[in-house]
Amino acid sequence: MTSQGIGTLLETLSLTSEILELRASPKRPAIGVCLEAKSSPSMGVLVTLLVRDGTLRVGDCLLCGPGYGRVRGMC
């Protein structure tokens, strides 16, 4: 995998959600897809996620295949 086109995909999804005024339920836990994951020596594991429903918050647990972890920050 080369991660080619991830930036364009995220930009398109963001623009589409703004135009269609899509909103997720703030009371539901997040459900989505992990697009990319990498390990950084200074920050640990970094992932790019696409949340399909619900709201993801700092402190939430993540499960993706055999891997799991806790959300420590978002940008």
Q: Where are the domains of the chain?
A: 6-70
pLDDT at 27: 87
pLDDT at 1: 64
Residue 73's nearest CA partner among 65, 53, 8, 49 is 49
How would you write the pLDDT of the chain (75 residues) with one tens digit per residue? 677 888 898 899 889 988 998 777 788 999 999 988 888 899 888 898 888 888 999 999 999 888 888 999 988
Listed in sequence order, the residues at least 6 apart from 42 whose beta carbon sits closer than 8 Å to its beta carbon are: none
